[in-house]
C-alpha cells in the first residue's frame, strides 16, 4: 500500500499495446448507476466502433468487483466448450483522421471495490498514453417525454470549456458514483475533466435508449471538435421513438402521463394541477412490463 492510501495501481493493468497518440482525449462510460437506459455505455460503444478503436489495456476485474454482485457469465465457445466471461474494463485507442487529437476510450461496468485505487489506475493509464483531459458520459432518470429532444447537461472544471460550450460547474451534493469519484481524482491531479449527462425518460428507463445515446454523441462532437458518422444511431433513435410512441398510444394512463410531461417541457411557467393520474413509479412498472410483453419484433 502506498503512503497516500492508494494501492500499487499500475499492477492492475495488463497492456497489449502502447500506441503513440496525438494529445488524446480520454472518454469514459460505466454501466450501472451512472447509465440510465444504457445510454452512456451505448454512446461509448458506438464511438469505439465508429472510430475503429482497438484494445490497448485491460484492468484486472479481480481487484475491483464483488463477483456476487457483478457476476461473471458462462458462454459456449466454438459451440461446445464452456468458458467464463468476467466483467471487463478495457482501454481502447483510436487515431481520428481529420482531427488534431486522438481518443482513448474506457468502457465497462462500474466497479464495486477499491474506488480510490481504481481511479488512480485510470489516471496512471492516462499518463502512460499521454491523455491530459477526460470526459465522462452519463445518463440519469428524469421526468421528461420521449417525444422531445434529449436534454444534455454539460459540467466542466475548465473555464475555457465552460465559456466555449456553455457548461456549468457542478453544484451537486449527495450520493455519487464512480464518475463523481473519478472527476474528484482528476481535479486533485490537476487534470482537466468534463462530463455529459443525458436525461432519460423515467417511464422507459429499462429499454435501450439510442435517442439519448445519439444526443450524447452529438454533444461530444462539439466538445472534442471531431465529427462522428452517426447515421446508424440516428436510424435506431427514430425506430426507438416510433415504437415507444406506439406503445404509449395503446395505454390511456401512460398517454396522459406523457402528455403532461410534454406540457411541462413546452411551457416555461408552472402549469395548473393536471387531472389525477397514476404515479410515475406505477406507470414505469406497468409500462416496462408492457414493453417486455410486446417483444422487440412487434412494431406495434
CATH classification of the domain holding 137 = 3.40.50.10900
Q: In what order do the strands lie in the sheet with 54-59?
A: 13-15, 54-59, 89-94, 103-109, 25-31, 133-142, 192-201, 152-156
Q: Where are the alpha helices (DSSP H) in the chain?
A: 39-50, 115-129, 159-165, 178-188, 210-224, 231-249, 252-266, 280-294
How many angstroms separate the first and last alpha carbons of the chain?
A: 57
- Say whether both 201 and 244 belong to one domain: no
- Say whether both 177 and 248 belong to one domain: no
Cα torsion angle, 19, 14, 228, 235, sign: positive
| pLDDT score for 160 | 79
- Say whether both 127 and 261 belong to one domain: no
Residue written as grid cell 457548461: 167
- Say whether both 189 and 278 belong to one domain: no
Q: Tens digit of pLDDT for each residue in 81-97?
A: 788 888 899 999 999 99
Within a domain: residue 249? yes
- Say whether both 169 and 283 belong to one domain: no
> Is the confidence at residue 226, as pLDDT, over 90?
yes
> Is the confidence at residue 240, as pLDDT, over 70?
yes
Which grid cell is 278?
A: 397514476
Last residue of a domain, one of 230, 256, 272: 230
Q: Tens digit of pLDDT for each residue in 23-40?
A: 999 999 999 989 999 999
Within a domain: residue 104? yes
Within a domain: residue 200? yes
Domain that holds residue 148: 9-230
Q: Tens digit of pLDDT for each residue in 155-176?
A: 988 787 788 778 888 877 888 8
- Say whether both 152 and 17 belong to one domain: yes
Within a domain: residue 2? no
3-state SS class at 176: coil
- Say whether both 63 and 186 belong to one domain: yes
| pLDDT score for 4 | 43
Percentage of the chain modeled with pLDDT above 90: 65
- Say whether both 69 and 109 belong to one domain: yes
- Say whether both 281 and 181 belong to one domain: no
Mean pLDDT of the chain: 86
pTM (two decimals): 0.83
Within a domain: residue 300? no
User: For residue 151, which of 163, 159, 162, 139 has the smallest C-alpha distance?
Assistant: 139
- Say whether both 243 and 145 belong to one domain: no
> Is the confidence at residue 154, as pLDDT, over 70?
yes
How many domains in the chain?
Answer: 2
Last residue of a domain, one of 211, 230, 249: 230
Residue written as grid cell 429499454: 207
Amino acid at each position: 500500500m502506498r503512503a497516500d492510501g492508494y494501492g500499487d495501481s499500475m499492477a492492475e493493468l495488463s497492456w497489449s499495446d502502447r500506441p503513440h497518440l496525438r494529445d488524446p482525449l480520454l472518454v469514459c462510460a460505466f454501466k450501472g448507476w451512472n447509465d440510465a437506459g444504457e445510454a452512456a455505455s451505448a454512446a461509448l460503444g458506438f464511438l469505439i466502433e465508429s472510430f475503429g478503436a482497438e484494445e490497448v489495456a485491460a484492468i484486472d476485474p479481480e481487484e475491483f468487483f464483488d463477483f456476487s454482485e457483478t457476476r461473471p457469465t458462462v458462454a459456449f465457445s466454438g459451440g461446445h466448450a464452456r468458458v467464463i466471461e468476467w466483467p471487463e474494463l478495457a482501454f481502447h485507442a483510436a487515431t481520428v483522421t481529420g482531427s488534431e487529437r486522438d481518443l482513448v476510450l474506457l468502457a465497462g461496468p462500474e466497479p464495486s471495490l477499491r474506488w480510490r485505487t481504481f481511479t488512480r489506475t485510470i489516471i496512471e493509464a492516462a499518463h502512460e498514453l499521454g491523455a491530459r483531459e477526460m470526459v465522462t458520459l452519463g445518463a440519469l432518470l428524469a421526468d421528461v417525454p420521449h417525444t422531445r429532444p434529449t436534454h444534455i447537461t454539460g459540467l466542466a472544471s475548465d473555464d475555457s470549456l465552460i465559456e466555449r460550450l456553455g457548461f456549468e460547474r457542478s453544484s451537486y451534493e449527495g450520493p455519487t458514483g464512480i464518475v463523481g469519484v473519478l472527476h474528484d481524482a482528476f481535479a486533485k491531479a490537476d487534470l482537466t475533466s468534463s462530463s455529459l449527462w443525458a436525461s432519460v425518460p423515467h417511464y422507459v428507463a429499462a429499454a435501450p435508449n439510442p435517442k439519448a445515446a445519439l444526443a450524447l454523441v452529438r454533444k461530444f462532437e462539439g466538445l472534442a471538435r471531431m465529427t462522428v458518422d452517426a447515421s446508424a444511431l440516428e436510424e435506431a433513435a427514430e425506430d426507438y421513438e416510433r415504437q415507444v410512441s406506439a406503445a404509449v398510444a395503446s395505454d390511456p394512463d401512460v398517454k396522459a402521463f406523457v402528455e403532461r410531461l410534454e406540457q411541462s417541457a413546452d411551457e416555461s411557467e408552472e402549469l395548473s394541477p393536471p387531472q389525477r393520474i397514476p404515479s410515475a413509479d406505477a406507470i414505469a412498472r406497468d409500462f416496462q412490463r408492457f414493453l417486455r410483453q410486446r417483444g422487440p419484433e412487434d412494431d406495434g
